[in-house]
C-alpha cells in the first residue's frame, strides 16, 4: 500500500530514508515551460542535506546539454553528469551495445536531442530534423523509398514534425530484419501546457503495427536506461528513490531497477484512482500531491 506523505514530519522522515533521488522532469519538475511551485526549493533543500540528484527523462527531444540549460534556466542547480534523457540512453545503447558498424547509419524519427547525442558518441545519422524531409510525401517518393542496407537502425522518439514521408522511410528500412528497430520510450502521452498530447510511444505505433516488429525500448521502465546511468555513476540502489508522475514508466522503473523507494507525484499523468483499489495496478511506495511540498521539511 502506498504511504501518503501529508505533513512536515513525514516529509522529513522520507528525506532521511534516501541518499539518492532520481527525478522524472515533465509533470514532476515542470509543465512545459512552467516550473512547478516550490520544486526548486525542494531540490535546494535536498542538496543542502547532501543528497545526490539525477534527472532521468523519457523525453527524447532534448540532449543532455539542452536539458541542463532548461534545468538551470529554472534556477535549479545541476551539472551534465546528473542528466539522463532517453536520447542519451539510446545513443549509448547504439554505440556500446548494438556496436553499430562505422559504415552504417541511424535513421532518426525524432528531434534534435537524439541527433545531438548521436553526434556526441560519433554515430552517423540521417532523417531527424533534415529540412528536406519536412514536407508532404509525393508519388515519386513512393517509387524510390525502399530498404537501404546502409541504414543499420531506425531510432524512433517524439517528433512534433512527423509526417507520412518519414513514416514510409522508417517502415521501408525496418523491412530489412538486419536493421534494428529502437524506441527511445513507449510513453502513450506527455503532459504539457496544462493538458496531454500523444507521446513518443503513440507516434511510434504506426511503425510497430505496420511492420509487425517488436521494437527494443531504451527509456524507462527498461533496464537500458539504468545501464546508461550506471555507466556514469555508482550508488547503493537500496538508498535511492525514483520520483515520477507515471506509474507504468517511473514507478515501474524503480521496481525493475530494485531501487529502495518510489514516490508518485500527483502533478502529472497518474492520480490516486489509477492505483488505489485497482487489482494489478503498479503501486508506488509513497505519493505526494507535489514534489514542491517536500520543501516544507526545511522548517524542521
Residue 149 engages a copy of itself in binding (rule: CB under 8 A): no
Side-chain-side CA neighbours of residue 187 (13 Å):
31
Residue 260 engages a copy of itself in binding (rule: CB under 8 A): no
Contacts of 287 (CB under 8 A, 6+ apart): 2, 3, 4, 5, 263, 264, 265, 266, 272
Catalytic, 141? Answer no
Residue 201 engages a copy of itself in binding (rule: CB under 8 A): yes
x/- letters, 211..250, toward a copy of itself (CB under 8 A): -x--------------------------------------
Return the residue of 162, 247, 269, 297 that touches a copy of itself, per CB under 8 A.
162
The Cα–Cα gap between 265 and 11 comes to 13
x/- letters, 169..198, toward a copy of itself (CB under 8 A): --xx---------------xx--xxxxxxx
Q: How far is the CB of 90 from a copy of itself (least distance, A)?
A: 20
Kindly determine how many residues on this chain lie close enough to bind a copy of itself according to the rule CB under 8 A.
Answer: 40
DSSP 294: G
Catalytic, 119? Answer no
Residue 207 engages a copy of itself in binding (rule: CB under 8 A): yes
Q: For a copy of itself, which is the closer residue by CB, 44 or 141?
A: 141
Q: How far is the CB of 7 from a copy of itself (least distance, A)?
A: 35
Sign (positive or negative) of CA dihedral 118, 121, 33, 38: positive
Q: What are phi and psi of 111, to 5 degrees?
A: -115, -170
The Cα–Cα gap between 156 and 178 comes to 16
Q: Residue 137 belongs to what H/E stretch?
A: none
Contacts of 23 (CB under 8 A, 6+ apart): 29, 53, 54, 55, 56, 242, 243, 244, 291
Residue 114 engages a copy of itself in binding (rule: CB under 8 A): no
The Cα–Cα gap between 255 and 155 comes to 26
Residue 273 engages a copy of itself in binding (rule: CB under 8 A): no
Binding site for a copy of itself (CB under 8 A): 32-33, 134, 136-137, 139, 142-143, 145-146, 159-164, 167-168, 171-172, 188-189, 192-199, 201-203, 205-210, 212
Residues assigned a catalytic role: 24, 26
As annotated, the binding site for Mg(2+) includes 24, 26, 245
Amino acid at each position: 500500500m502506498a504511504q501518503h506523505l501529508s505533513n512536515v514530519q513525514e516529509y522529513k522522515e522520507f528525506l532521511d530514508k534516501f541518499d539518492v533521488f532520481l527525478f522524472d522532469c515533465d509533470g514532476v519538475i515542470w509543465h512545459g515551460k512552467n516550473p512547478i511551485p516550490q520544486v526548486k526549493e525542494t531540490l535546494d533543500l535536498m542538496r543542502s542535506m547532501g543528497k545526490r540528484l539525477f534527472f532521468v527523462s523519457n523525453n527524447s527531444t532534448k540532449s543532455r546539454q539542452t536539458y541542463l540549460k532548461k534545468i538551470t534556466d529554472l534556477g535549479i542547480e545541476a551539472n551534465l553528469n546528473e542528466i539522463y534523457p532517453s536520447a542519451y540512453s539510446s545513443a549509448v545503447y547504439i554505440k556500446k551495445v548494438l556496436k553499430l558498424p562505422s559504415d552504417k547509419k541511424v535513421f532518426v524519427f525524432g528531434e534534435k536531442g537524439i541527433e545531438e547525442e548521436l553526434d556526441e558518441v560519433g554515430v552517423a545519422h540521417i532523417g531527424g530534423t533534415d529540412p528536406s524531409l519536412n514536407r508532404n510525401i509525393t508519388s515519386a517518393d513512393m517509387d524510390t523509398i525502399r530498404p537501404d542496407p546502409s541504414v543499420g537502425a531506425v531510432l524512433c522518439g517524439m517528433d512534433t514534425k512527423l509526417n507520412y514521408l518519414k513514416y514510409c522511410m522508417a517502415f521501408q528500412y525496418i523491412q530489412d530484419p538486419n536493421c534494428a528497430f529502437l524506441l527511445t520510450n513507449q510513453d502513450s502521452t506527455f503532459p504539457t501546457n496544462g493538458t496531454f498530447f500523444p507521446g513518443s510511444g503513440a507516434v511510434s505505433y504506426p511503425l510497430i503495427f505496420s511492420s509487425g516488429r517488436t521494437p527494443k525500448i531504451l527509456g524507462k521502465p527498461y533496464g537500458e536506461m539504468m545501464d546508461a546511468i550506471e555507466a556514469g555513476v555508482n550508488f547503493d540502489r537500496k538508498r535511492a528513490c525514483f520520483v515520477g508522475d507515471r506509474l507504468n514508466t517511473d514507478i515501474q522503473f524503480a521496481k525493475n531497477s530494485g531501487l529502495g523507494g518510489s514516490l508518485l507525484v500527483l502533478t502529472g499523468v497518474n492520480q490516486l484512482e489509477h492505483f488505489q483499489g485497482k487489482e494489478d495496478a503498479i503501486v508506488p511506495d509513497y505519493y505526494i500531491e507535489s514534489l514542491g511540498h517536500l520543501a516544507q521539511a526545511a522548517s524542521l
